[in-house]
């Protein structure tokens, strides 16, 4: 999976837990996230190796910082992405997509 595939703005659509949560993955390896319903913002850096996403969150409204490890599966058309992320910072990466969040590409 090319790192360019993930670059862009992604959002969890209505009808799911955390609907409205958005992540912008920038080409320079940085990201910004926001969750408007709770006024939470975060940022940091990201790397993608195969389907393994690492997000080193260095800023968070509530202080939730550290390395978040995830698995990602981007659809062939590049418009949806499954993300199975560790339950918290510095925890082991999930091994499958038993629990995941579905994001839709906004741009």
Q: Tokens at residue 68, please?
A: 């978040």
How many whole angstroms separate alpha carbon 4 and alpha carbon 8? 9
> How far is 46 from 44, CA to CA, in rounded Å?
7
Which domains are present in the chain? 3-105 (2.40.128.490)
pLDDT tens column, 43-64:
999 999 999 999 999 999 999 9
- pTM, entire model: 0.93
- The whole-number pLDDT of residue 3 equals 62
SS3 95: coil
The two three-digit tokens of residue 59, written as one number: 């800023």
In whole angstroms, give the CA distance from residue 97 to residue 83: 8
């Amino acid at each position: 999976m090319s790192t360019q595939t993930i670059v862009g703005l992604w959002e969890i659509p209505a009808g799911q837990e955390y609907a409205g949560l958005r992540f912008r993955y920038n080409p320079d390896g940085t990201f910004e996230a926001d969750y408007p319903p709770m006024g939470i913002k975060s940022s940091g850096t990201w790397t993608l190796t195969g389907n393994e996403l690492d997000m080193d969150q260095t800023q968070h409204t509530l202080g939730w910082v550290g390395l978040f490890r995830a698995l990602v599966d981007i659809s062939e058309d590049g418009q949806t992405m499954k993300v199975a992320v560790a339950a918290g910072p510095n925890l082991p990466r999930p091994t499958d997509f038993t629990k995941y969040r579905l994001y839709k590409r906004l741009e």
